[in-house]
Structure 1
Amino acid sequence: MVDITAAIVCFDGFDELDAIGPYEVLENGARAGGSVETRLMTLEPTDRVTASHGLRIEPDGVLEDPDSPDLDLLLVPGGGWADGGGVRTVVADGRLPDLVAQLYANGTTVASVCTGAMVLADAGLLEGRPATTHHDAVADLEAHADVVDARVVDDGDVLTAGGVTAGIDLALWLLEREFGADVAQRVAREMEHERRGEVVR
C-alpha cells in the first residue's frame, strides 16, 4: 500500500538535478521504509523530454490523464528562467500553472525546486506566503511572495526550495515530515549527503 503518490512534472528545459535529485531521494525513501511512489510525469503524451543540459528522459505518464491516480504531492522543478527557456516557456504557455492551481485546489500538496517557484507564483499559490527560489529569480519572486533566505521553506501544503541541489534537502525533509527522521537519515547516509540549513516553517 502506498501512502503518498508523488509526481515530478517534467518539461523541455527543466533542470536535471532539480527533478532527478528529489526523485532519487524519494525512491530511496521507499526502500528505507517510507510508503511513497514517485513518477516522472508530463503535461501531454510524449516519448521523451529533453532537459536543460541535454539529458533525455522517458516519462511515466501524463498528469492530465484521467486514469492517473490522485496525487498527494506534485513537485515542480526549475530550469531556464535566466535564459528564457524551460520555466519561462511553461509560465508563458499557462497550462502548467493552471494545472498546478487545479491540483492544489483538489488537495494536492505542491512543492517547487529552484525557479519552479515561478510556476507556483503564476498559479497564485504564493501570495502572502513565505517562499524561496534560486538567487537569479529572487527579484522576480518578490512580486508574488514573502521571499525568505532559506534552503527549504515549508508552509504546510506549499513547499519551496532554493537552487538546484536544495531539491535534495527538500525531498529529505519531505521524507522526515511524512515518515520520520530515521527514514530521512538512512537515505541521507546512503546518498552520502550532508543536509544543509534549517527548514523554515
Structure 2
Amino acid sequence: MADIAAEIVLFDGFDELDAVGPYEVLRNGARAGASLETRLVSLAETDLVRASHDLRLEPDGTLGEPDLLLVPGGGWTTEGGVRAAVEDGALPEAVRERYDDGATIASVCTGAMVLSAAGILEGRPAATHPVAVDDLAATAATVVDERVVDDGDVVTAGGVTSGIDLALWLLEREFGVEIAEAVAAEMAHERRGDVFESS
C-alpha cells in the first residue's frame, strides 16, 4: 500500500493540463520509487468528465479520503469550470472536509478559487493564474507571484504549466530531490522558478 494516496478531482470545464500534467508527474514518481498512488476522481459517479478543450476523461472513481487532494483550474472567466464549481458549492465543501480531516490540499491555476471558497486560504500565501489574481486578492488570501507556493498543508501553483512544477515539488518535498529530478529528466521538463515556502 502506498504511503501517500493522491487524488486529482475532475469536474466539467477543468483545464486539461492542470490535471493531466500533475497526474503524469505523480505517476512517474511512483515508477521512480515514490510510495505514492494517484487517482483521477469526480465528486459523483460518472462515466466521463468533459474538460475545457473537450477532452473527455473517465475517472477512476469518486473522491475518497486522500492524503493529498489536488484541484485543477479552468473556466474562471467563462461559464462552467471553476466558476460553476464555486457557485455550486459542493466541491469547495468537499475540499474543506478533506482539509479538516488532515489532507494536504493543492491547487493549480484558478483552482485556488475553489480553495478560497472552501475557506482554507484565509491569511495564507497563495498563487493563481493571472486572470484570477485580482479576485483572489479580494479574498482573505495573500497573493504571491510565484509558480509554486508551499504553505505546509496547502500548496498552490500559478497558471496551467506550473502544475508540473507543483507536482515535481511535491515529489521532492515528500520523497526527495533524486526522485523529482529523475521524473523531470524523464519528462524533459526544465523546472522553473523557485518555490515560495512560507516557513
- TM-score band w.r.t. shorter chain: over 0.9
> In 2, distance between residues paired with 1:175 and 1:147?
24
Corresponding residue number in structure 2 for 1:97: 92
SS for the counterpart of 2:77 is: coil
Q: Per-residue CA shift, 1:113-155, capped at 9, x if unaligned?
A: 0000000000000010000100000000002210001000000
> In 1, distance between residues paired with 2:51 and 2:70?
16
1:173 and 2:169 aligned: yes
The share of aligned pairs that are identical, in percent, is: 70
2:152 aligned residue (125, 146, 156):
156
Query: Which one-letter code corresponds to 1:7 in the other structure?
Result: E
Corresponding residue number in structure 2 for 1:14: 14
> In 1, distance between residues paired with 2:145 and 2:90?
29
Corresponding residue number in structure 1 for 2:194: 198
What is the deviation of 1:84?
2.6
What is the deviation of 1:83?
1.2
2:114 aligned residue (106, 114, 119):
119
Query: Which one-letter code corresponds to 1:58 in the other structure?
Result: E
> In 1, distance between residues paired with 2:52 and 2:187?
24
What is the deviation of 1:82?
1.2
Query: Which one-letter code corresponds to 2:164 in the other structure?
Result: I
Number of equivalenced pairs: 196
> In 2, distance between residues paired with 1:174 and 1:151?
13
Q: Per-residue CA shift, 1:150-173, capped at 9, x if unaligned?
A: 000000000100000000000000
> In 2, distance between residues paired with 1:61 and 1:76?
16
2:143 aligned residue (147, 162, 167):
147
Query: Which one-letter code corresponds to 1:167 in the other structure?
Result: G
Counterpart mapping for 1:30-179 below 5 A: 30-63=30-63, 68=64, 70-144=65-139, 145-179=141-175
SS for the counterpart of 1:8 is: strand
> In 2, distance between residues paired with 1:35 and 1:17?
24
**Superposition misfits of 4+ residues, deviation over 2 angstroms:** none
Identify which range, 126-135 or 79-88, moves more after superposition: 79-88
> In 1, distance between residues paired with 2:195 and 2:80?
29
> In 2, distance between residues paired with 1:191 and 1:75?
20
TM-score for the superposition, normalised by structure 2 = 0.97
> In 2, distance between residues paired with 1:199 and 1:26?
18
Query: Which one-letter code corresponds to 1:125 in the other structure?
Result: I
TM-score for the superposition, normalised by structure 1 = 0.96
> In 2, distance between residues paired with 1:116 and 1:71?
17
- Root-mean-square deviation (Å): 0.6
What is the deviation of 1:31?
0.4
Q: Per-residue CA shift, 1:29-81, capped at 9, x if unaligned?
A: 00001010000000101000000001000000111xxxx4x310000000000
